[in-house]
Chain A
């Protein structure tokens, strides 16, 4: 008898609908009051997702206080890179004891953002910044070097846009 009732009356479907209905009401009645947690749906181009402090973005060369490049061409990053995307050319600069990178090329199309290069660096001269909008229209734009019009290796994370999550 109980089984017959169960087949006649769709309890299970009502149960499922009550759950979806509950969620619908939650969003429908609170959407205008901004009570919906941020991450469930964010309107992406207007509201950019916040990233964590350890986020691994694009490779960046750092400069010290005098505006000098910190890199001393020890080639540790070039050796450890699993996909061989970094090419460094050693050179000399007047008034500087340490070797100076004449060329520091970074082929972003092959980069897998593993942060091994930053880990291997003994001079803290490179970081991965918080940039994740890396798509471009031309393949050449992925070849990033010390000189470049659109992008170069010194470009830091855009301030304010890729900010770190609060909680």
Chain B
């Protein structure tokens, strides 16, 4: 009956392995995907338009809710874009604390990626172990700013409060045990034959294609392009940090896994350096109570855990809210490489392809 006939199916929007409400339109020839189109927009809230109707100060709470797995990184981008717009210099201690919290957030985001990616492919144990470590990071978020997920951690011009007493102890405790935890995940996955068969050679994206599609973050670095905004255009206190940008040339799912694991090690190194070289001083710059913009536009890009997160802000003279606000979300642009990865492959491998892109639909649909 179905001989020589292509079948069209929808993967999602309520599929557990599409990480939210992504719908993928697939055309199948047997088990091979011949056509793949991601359909988005199920979580659209109009964050950009909402921010245009709110003051610069209030806008930060909406950035929490874009990529909810890495809210601190989004806050950092928002705060720095505004500081660029108003020409504010942030105290050095605030820069260090921001860098440290941002790296903790990268760890949390990568841990949740590892957990869900492994769960999608079939390794269930890692899911529980990775969430155990993520819990410690969320506790630190709670100790610093009072909230675990939607942090609203920074303010334009610095931080609201200094680090709470006893924070160093939490960081030390975490850094002491984290390398062993990473080894545990690698022992469970790196040499596992099922994991290797499901990931090696799956969802390939060459460096040329990745650059042509504008893909950034670990997906690009796994294709052999050492592009990291923390190194290329340093922001916060990254210019003073000593870390490496891991790259791999295989450009498949396994290479992306190795790159992200190595990135977690480097993040732990950066946190250690931040703790060692933490300067004393104030954490908030002197800023006017009501921020009024000039006619000016800025684009500020930061390296969020998923890739290049850019904020484009246009100010209007004498206005307290942005005239135009646009987000270059890494997830949105990385998702456009899904057809390149999945077409020609098997239908079972599209789950690995979605997992390896590390998408969060809150950020894609905004």
Partner-B contacts on A (CB < 8 A):
10-13, 15-16, 19-20, 23, 39-40, 51-56, 80, 82, 112-116, 119, 128, 167
B143 to A, closest residue via Cβ: A52
CB distance from B167 to the nearest CB of A (A): 10
Q: How far is the CA of A52 from the CA of B132 in the complex (A)?
A: 18
Q: How far is the CA of A167 from the CA of B170 in the complex (A)?
A: 8
Would you call B146 and A115 a contact (CB within 8 A)?
yes
B residues within 8 A CB of A53? 143, 164
Would you call B57 and A52 a contact (CB within 8 A)?
no
Given contacts A55-B146, A116-B152, 12 further A-B contacts (CB under 8 A): A12-B192, A15-B191, A16-B187, A39-B139, A52-B139, A53-B143, A53-B164, A54-B145, A54-B164, A82-B58, A112-B61, A119-B160
B residues within 8 A CB of A11? 191
Q: List 27 A-B contacts (CB under 8 A).
A: A12-B193, A15-B187, A15-B188, A16-B125, A16-B187, A16-B192, A19-B184, A19-B187, A19-B188, A39-B135, A39-B136, A40-B132, A51-B142, A52-B139, A52-B142, A53-B143, A53-B164, A54-B142, A54-B144, A54-B146, A54-B164, A80-B58, A114-B152, A116-B61, A116-B152, A119-B160, A167-B169
Would you call B164 and A52 a contact (CB within 8 A)?
yes
Question: Would A20 and B166 be within 8 Å (CB), given that A54-B143, A55-B146, A112-B150 are in contact?
Answer: no
Q: Determine if B296 is an interface residue (Cβ-Cβ < 8 Å).
A: no
CB distance from A44 to the nearest CB of B (A): 14
Would you call A114 and B61 a contact (CB within 8 A)?
yes
Q: How far is the CA of A16 from the CA of B147 in the complex (A)?
A: 35
Q: How far is the CA of A13 from the CA of B57 in the complex (A)?
A: 52
Q: Restricting to B143-177, which residues have a CB under 8 Å from any CB of A?
A: 143-147, 150, 152, 160-161, 164, 166, 169
Would you call B192 and A13 a contact (CB within 8 A)?
yes
Across the A-B interface, the 5 shortest Cβ-Cβ residue pairs: A54-B146, A56-B146, A82-B58, A52-B143, A12-B191
B residues within 8 A CB of A82? 54, 58, 61-62
Q: How far is the CA of A13 from the CA of B139 in the complex (A)?
A: 33
B152 to A, closest residue via Cβ: A114
A51 to B, closest residue via Cβ: B142
CB distance from A127 to the nearest CB of B (A): 11
A83 to B, closest residue via Cβ: B61
Q: How far is the CA of A52 from the CA of B62 in the complex (A)?
A: 24
Q: How far is the CA of A115 from the CA of B150 in the complex (A)?
A: 12
CB distance from A109 to the nearest CB of B (A): 16
CB distance from A135 to the nearest CB of B (A): 17
B residues within 8 A CB of A52? 139, 142-143, 146, 164
Q: How far is the CA of A56 from the CA of B143 in the complex (A)?
A: 10
CB distance from A22 to the nearest CB of B (A): 9
A residues within 8 A CB of B169? 167
A residues within 8 A CB of B57? 80, 116
A residues within 8 A CB of B150? 112-114
A residues within 8 A CB of B145? 54
Q: How far is the CA of A16 from the CA of B188 in the complex (A)?
A: 5
Contact with A along B130-144 (1 / 0, CB 8 A): 001001100100111
B residues within 8 A CB of A40? 132, 135
Q: How far is the CA of A53 from the CA of B164 in the complex (A)?
A: 9
Q: How far is the CA of A113 from the CA of B160 in the complex (A)?
A: 15
B131 to A, closest residue via Cβ: A40
Q: How far is the CA of A115 from the CA of B188 in the complex (A)?
A: 41
Q: How far is the CA of A14 from the CA of B146 in the complex (A)?
A: 42
Q: How far is the CA of A16 from the CA of B161 in the complex (A)?
A: 44
B residues within 8 A CB of A12? 191-193
B183 to A, closest residue via Cβ: A19
Q: How far is the CA of A15 from the CA of B194 in the complex (A)?
A: 13
Q: How far is the CA of A167 from the CA of B169 in the complex (A)?
A: 9
B residues within 8 A CB of A20? 125
Q: Restricting to B190-223, which residues have a CB under 8 Å from any CB of A?
A: 191-193
Most buried by B among A53, A82, A112, A167: A82
